[in-house]
Amino acid sequence: MVDSVEVSIRSALFDRLMLLPRPASVSIALPNVGDGNGRTFTNPDPQPGATWYRAAFIPAPTMAEHLEYTGCNHHYGMMQVDAVGYMGDGELRIARNAAAVVTHFRRGTRLFKNSFKIEITQAPYLRPLMFDEPWCFIPVDVPYVCYATSFPFQYLVPQPFHGGQ
């Protein structure tokens, strides 16, 4: 079964994030995803030098290109990736991890999933450092857009008229 556009967008973005070059000790927490062994993600022990990433998916309202029902829909939104580090280690280590996300999802990146094309149309950007003891983090917003028809392709092909006079 092919996933819908909404699921395909999430899947493509999370798949790309998992390819982020990083040391083996730096893990990525995806929403509601375990480690494959029946365990859910747990934060690293809060200690100096500990860093990790946390992802969230933030869809925006879908916009229609035309008034007709068979037109193209614009699926906008962003994936937010928090570069998380131990409070007290300084901001630069976390900023370097956040900058790696910006580079990995640079403007112009195109992702493909289930015949949908997801584009990073704006440069990802960093938000201010935030605190959540014993951690602090820099959110990175990765804006995307995906264009998809309102109906599956077979509904767009003219059908012969059977009936009438």
Q: What CATH architecture is 5-33+45-154?
A: 2-Layer Sandwich (3.30)
Q: Is 48 exposed, middle or buried (0-12, 13-18, 19+ CB in 10 A)?
A: exposed
Domain boundaries, the chain: 5-33+45-154
pTM of the predicted model as reported, rounded to 2 decimal places: 0.81
Residues 105, 124: contact at Cβ < 8 Å? Answer: yes
pLDDT by residue for the chain (165 residues), tens only, comes to 678 888 899 999 999 999 999 888 888 888 877 555 555 677 788 899 999 999 998 888 877 766 666 677 888 999 999 999 999 898 999 999 999 999 999 999 999 998 889 999 999 999 999 999 999 999 999 999 998 875 554 444 444 545 554
Which backbone phi and psi does 81 adopt, to 5 degrees? -120, 120
CA-based angle 72:59:139, to the nearest 5?
Answer: 140
Residue pointed to by tokens 């280590």: 93
Query: Among residues 51, 31, 55, 29, which one has the least CA distance to residue 42?
Result: 29
